[in-house]
Amino acid sequence: MADDAIRCDACPVLCYIKPGRTGSCDRYGNHEGKLVRLDPHVVLDRALDRGESIVPFLERGHDWDGTLESHGETFVTAIGAGTTYPDYKPAPFIISSQVEGVDMVTVVTEGIFSYCGVKVKIDTDRHLGPECSTVRAQGEAVGHVTTSEYGSQMLSLGGVRHLTGGSRQEGTATCDALLNLCNGKAVELKIDDGAKVVVQAGKPPIVDGAQEERMRVGCGSATIGMFAKQWFGKVDDVVVVDDHITGVLSEHQAGKLLGVQETGIKLKGRRSTPGRYFQVAEPGTSWGGTDIEDPLTILGKFNAKKAWPGLRLLMVSTTGEHHAYFELDEDLKPREKNLPADLRQSVARIKENCEPALCTVLFMGGAGGSLRAGVTENPVKLTHSVRDALTRVTCGGAPVYVWPGGGITFMADVSRMPQNAFGYVPTPALVAPIEFTLRLADYAALGGYTEHVRPLSSVAAENENRRRVAAHSKNPWPLESGGRAKKR
């Protein structure tokens, strides 16, 4: 290597970096012969007025002098803090503070996650693809379709097998897709035998070029239950078309309790319980997430002993996006008519009760290796401390859900984190912030690096590049656990 190059040990790639240049991750550079972290280190400023409307993570003006107060209103995140690698090194920042008389410690590091991925919730009734279908980015397999939930399609992306178990191109495409999704950028995904969808955290999904507006109010049966009273007396029967459970008012228990007369209607599909039908059509992107364009195709012949000419029938989807009104002629065949004004209100009410369609991106990672060893020389004690709720885990100051069972497997909503909180290394792997906050006494008990603990005020004294942002107004304050610890 050149005499003036320095070797970066922040990740397994071990780049040699010449002066004025950066490593392959663009996170570290050679500045006048010193290895430096290039992105600013982020600290959170607590909003004193919790009722105040704050733009999440709004950057402060340039009048801040860098002073960090240690009275519990400032939290040092791991964003831009640096990486604990190799495993035997203590975390880059082990910060002490006092909160309501309790001595606290926050251990801060940017973790290198090969074992990570994202779970994507896409609010849409439209069928995106069969379960277990491969999801691709840049033509490479990056994940799969998983089980759908109430009004949402779910994708599981990333994971160690896509990052490291396939070709170099697959690993690179997976890492790139995860990084962009976690940093709030739009990513185009193609599902085998399914749709093309553009996903961005906090934004409506775009399915095959069409932007979604709303998620469904409920399944067809639930919709019947919610709006039966509003239809009673204005129409003789209602069919709410849904890919999963199609509802029929006259047969449904809600209709029975209201005294709705039998109409002799017959639906195709598999009858589950009265007024509830499965498999009335194939999944698709039309009526109620099915493949039907004409709702009459799911109807059989009306029972002549129960039906009558002039019978009024409303057919509507679970979002109100599709609707049609029919009346039976003398041969008991449905003839489409203009939707009466008193039924327009009920269709509008369905739309009103549908939440806006959004994409939700949850980062999911397993904290092992350098993360735990950077906190204590006996890593299993950290795992036990987290499990026993003595240690609070945050991700860029945002709350996380820690899965039960072994290890520290956690999920975090990326929309509740500061912008550009994630990085990458070309192994490939994501770099994600993680913080462990606990009482100083508990930290000493689990064998922490107490000799490396330093006060919050010392961080400002280093006069390094830092960015101070306002904490997300909906996030619990990471240091509030000190108050609970005091009362325990």
- Residue 203's Cβ-count burial label (10 Å; 0-12, 13-18, 19+) is middle
In the block, which residue shows the tokens 């600013």? 40
Is residue 109 within 8 Å of residue 94, measured between CB atoms? no
What CA–CA distance (Å, rounded) separates 383 from 389?
10
46 vs 354: which has the higher pLDDT: 354
> What is the rounded distance in angstroms from the CA atom of residue 229 to the CA atom of residue 224?
9
Residue 482, pLDDT above cutoff 60: no
Q: Looking at per-residue confidence, does 411 or 98 come out higher? A: 411
The confidence band for 35, taking pLDDT boundaries of 50, 70 and 90, is confident
Predicted confidence at residue 488, as pLDDT, reads 33
Q: What is the mean pLDDT of residues 338-365?
A: 94
Residue 60 confidence (pLDDT): 38
Tens digits of residue pLDDT in 153-185: 999 999 999 999 999 999 999 999 999 999 999
Residue 461: what pLDDT? 60
**Apex 38 CA angle, 33 and 43, nearest 5:** 130
pLDDT for 418 equals 93
Given pLDDT bands bounded at 50, 70 and 90, which one contains residue 71? low
Give the predicted TM-score (pTM) of the model: 0.86
pLDDT at 45: 86
pLDDT at 47: 62
The predicted-structure confidence for 183-234, as pLDDT tens digits, reads as follows 999 999 999 999 999 999 999 999 999 999 999 999 999 999 999 999 999 9
Distances (CA, A) of 169 to 27, 137, 140, 165, 258: 22, 11, 7, 11, 61
- Average pLDDT of the residues in 130-139: 97
Judged by average pLDDT, the poorest of 152-156, 328-332, 459-463 is 459-463
Let me know: does 285 contact 153? Beta carbons within 8 Å.
Answer: no
Task: Give CA–CA dist 178/158, Å, rounded.
Answer: 7
- For 22-26, 53-57, 268-272, 438-442, which range has the lowest pLDDT when averaged over its residues? 53-57
pLDDT of the residue at 83: 85
Mean residue pLDDT across the chain: 89
Check: CB of residue 327 under 8 Å from CB of residue 339.
no
- Residue 19 to residue 34: CA distance in whole angstroms: 9
Mean pLDDT of 38-47: 84
Contact call for residues 134 and 141 (beta carbons, < 8 A): yes
- Mean pLDDT across 2-19: 86
